[in-house]
Amino acid sequence: MKTPTPHIAATPADIAKTVLMPGDPVRSRHIAMTYLENPVLFNDVRGVQGYTGYYKGKRVSVMASGMGMPSIGIYSYELYNAFDVETIIRVGSCGAFHKDLHLKDVVIAMGSCTNSNYADQYRLPGTFCPIADFELTRRAVDECEKRGIHYMVGNIFSSDVFYNQPGRDMEWSKMGVLGVEMESAALYCNAAAAGKKALCLCTVSDHFVNEGEIMTVEERQYSLNQMIEVALEIAEG
């Protein structure tokens, strides 16, 4: 696959082997300017900002994915297959299903259930189960433990629909699914197909069970720092 691609105006040398991937371009810039030394903008096509810099001596990139599986599907596919990226760590937000999760808790998505048809492209003779890289998952758990962050590990629901029918998503909670977001299943599929690594970390931003627990737009953009620091610590330079 030739570079630059239609969506990323860069060369492989511009991008680190590990990319942190928030959904929001504002959050991408926030991470780069807050945590990275000497961040350099390598992409701004369609306003999807990507930066490469250094975190504690490790070369790391951060780039937005946009919202939903079609969007992260495009960017993660190009990063894995055109830019030689080895690892993508999604750093996003999710709505919680589990009563023991609260705002700013971290969900480590070991598996990703979905209502998407994304995996149909692989023509598999059954249902593919998109999962995270085990080593990344274990290191994320260890880092959360070290920092005293309240977290849960398990399945997350990756949905194609944001405005669903009332109560529909809660059916997943009966199967132990921890929460809902919109990107992880496509990311995990692309990683599996490319033989690369992926992990989705999500900070709880709202709740389907505990009424009244919801972050503001500003909090979603800027207050996910604990999760971001975990991702940076486990990133491979």
Q: Which positions are catalytic? A: 206
Pairing mode of beta strands 87-96, 18-21 = parallel
H or E element, residue 185: helix 184-194
Q: Which helix (H) or strand (E) holds 219?
A: helix 217-222
Q: CB under 8 Å to 112, separation ≥6 — which residues?
A: 130, 131, 132, 155, 156, 157, 158, 184, 185, 188, 200
Residue 127, both tokens: 């249902």
The span from the CA of 82 to the CA of 87, in Å, is 13
